[in-house]
Amino acid sequence: MTESKLSFIREDLLNLLAYIPTPISENQKQLTRLDANESPYNLPSELKVKLALFYEQEIETNRYPDGSHFKLKNLITEYVNESINIANNRINYSQISVGNGSDELIRSILIATCLNNQGSILVANPTFSMYEILAQSLGIITHTINRNENSFSWALDATNKLIYDSNKNVKVIFMVHPNSPTANCLTATEIEWLKNLPSNILVVIDEAYYEFSQQTLVSELPNHPNWLILRTFSKAFRLAAHRVGYAIAHEDIIKVLEKIRLPYNLPTFSQLASELVLENREIILPAVKELMIEKERVYQELVKNPLLKVWHSDANFIYLRLRKNPSQENHHAIMKQLKQEKIIIRHTGGGLRISIGTITENNYLLEILRKEIIGVRIKM
């Protein structure tokens, strides 16, 4: 249809560049997929069998899911509280909202804060692209600050200028801890700065990779009622296929997110799967340690290559750029070369992000990078 015939569609959406996930076909499964920061491990078959039994014996497919997420929220509360050692700072059930992936929660946050010209958001690039894409889809303005090119820390002076400029009307700041794609955690200075932000700004701290970094700000929530923490089951818990994320915040913020979400946003099967992984976290989570050891090994191999600038990582992925001529074109060329060898990585934020896979996958990646790509086919 021509654009003129689509006059009933908002004009800004016709030009919106959406997030394009890699399509998954049958032969895609034979690829080495290192592009989405998922866990390389499927659920253990003992848990899959349990899930299959649940499906057969317990799920009434003719009934709507539990729209209160009662059991899941209780289990999440228990899990989150394990990382809080100050008794008074423990969170409770009413401080959790569950979403169809944390993506859904990001959208709810935007609706709750900035829709109808009520405000704009602030991000520091490079960062997770969905904040800006979702904001655009709702007609919300995103202000961006460029991160320091070496450490990827925030330029706090420039950020303050934006925040305290009333014309900009910044209502939400999205921080990622550790950031994607650059894999760095917030610094002590940045955390201190967050603590001093005005309370009329919502601070979203996205801890999608918490299980890998083991760094969380959750115990700070009682001191900062304008903070909200996002987590997901898509990474360390191996449930990307089930789309489950959660928000932790003051119960008044959570009440609003609960009003906005669709009543049955999370299918019964996804609720059961996330309950099961939480109940069996002692089986699922030890693999995180192995992945972090692998990450260190891959990092040590990559830093040996003089053509690459590789950053330290607190997550299950590594960010790198070419030292000389780090152009879009050259990075794209590397990605294409890897694709020919059936390895998929992500070209984002002016560099390459590589998720940590199994030992076999990582060895294959390192071999191909060493042999085929770097220094041979890239024009410097």
Q: Report the interface residues with ligand PLP, using CB under 6 A.
A: 37, 101-103, 128, 176, 180, 206, 208, 232, 234, 240, 245
Q: Toward ligand PLP, which CB reaches closer, 313 or 337?
A: 313
Q: Toward ligand PLP, which CB reaches closer, 216 or 337?
A: 216
Q: Helical H runs in the chain? A: 11-14, 45-57, 70-81, 101-113, 130-137, 156-163, 188-195, 210-213, 251-260, 268-279, 281-284, 286-303, 328-340, 359-368
Beta carbon of residue 196, minimum distance to ligand PLP (angstroms, whole number): 24
CB atoms within 10 A of CB 137: 16
Q: How far apart are CA 220 and CA 227, in angstroms?
A: 9
Q: Which residue is nearest to ligand PLP (CB)?
A: 101
Q: How far apart are CA 98 and CA 79, in angstroms?
A: 14
* Amino acid at residue number 380: M
Angle at 112 between CA 109 and CA 115, to 5 degrees: 105
Which CA distances in Å does 52 have to 69, 265, 321, 332?
20, 21, 43, 41
Q: Toward ligand PLP, which CB reaches closer, 266 or 374?
A: 266
The sign one gets for the Cα dihedral 33, 331, 145, 183 is positive
Q: Toward ligand PLP, which CB reaches closer, 40 or 245?
A: 245
Q: Toward ligand PLP, which CB reaches closer, 35 or 361?
A: 35
Q: Toward ligand PLP, which CB reaches closer, 246 or 369?
A: 246
Residue 246's DSSP bridge partners are 98, 231
Beta carbon of residue 104, minimum distance to ligand PLP (angstroms, whole number): 7
Beta carbon of residue 5, minimum distance to ligand PLP (angstroms, whole number): 33
| Ordered DSSP codes for 283-341 | HHTHHHHHHHHHHHHHHHHHHT-TTEEE---SSSEEEEEESS---HHHHHHHHHHHHHT
Beta carbon of residue 123, minimum distance to ligand PLP (angstroms, whole number): 11
DSSP assignment, residue 154?
A: -
**For residue 107, what are its two tokens?**
């959208």
To the nearest 10 degrees (0 to 180), the angle between helices 268-279 and 70-81 is 30
The helix (run of H) or strand (run of E) holding residue 176 is strand 170-176
Beta carbon of residue 205, minimum distance to ligand PLP (angstroms, whole number): 10
Beta carbon of residue 253, minimum distance to ligand PLP (angstroms, whole number): 18
Q: Toward ligand PLP, which CB reaches closer, 77 or 232?
A: 232
**For residue 208, what are its two tokens?**
């999608």
Beta carbon of residue 243, minimum distance to ligand PLP (angstroms, whole number): 6
Q: Toward ligand PLP, which CB reaches closer, 254 or 266?
A: 266
Beta carbon of residue 315, minimum distance to ligand PLP (angstroms, whole number): 9
Q: Toward ligand PLP, which CB reaches closer, 90 or 147?
A: 147
Beta carbon of residue 295, minimum distance to ligand PLP (angstroms, whole number): 16
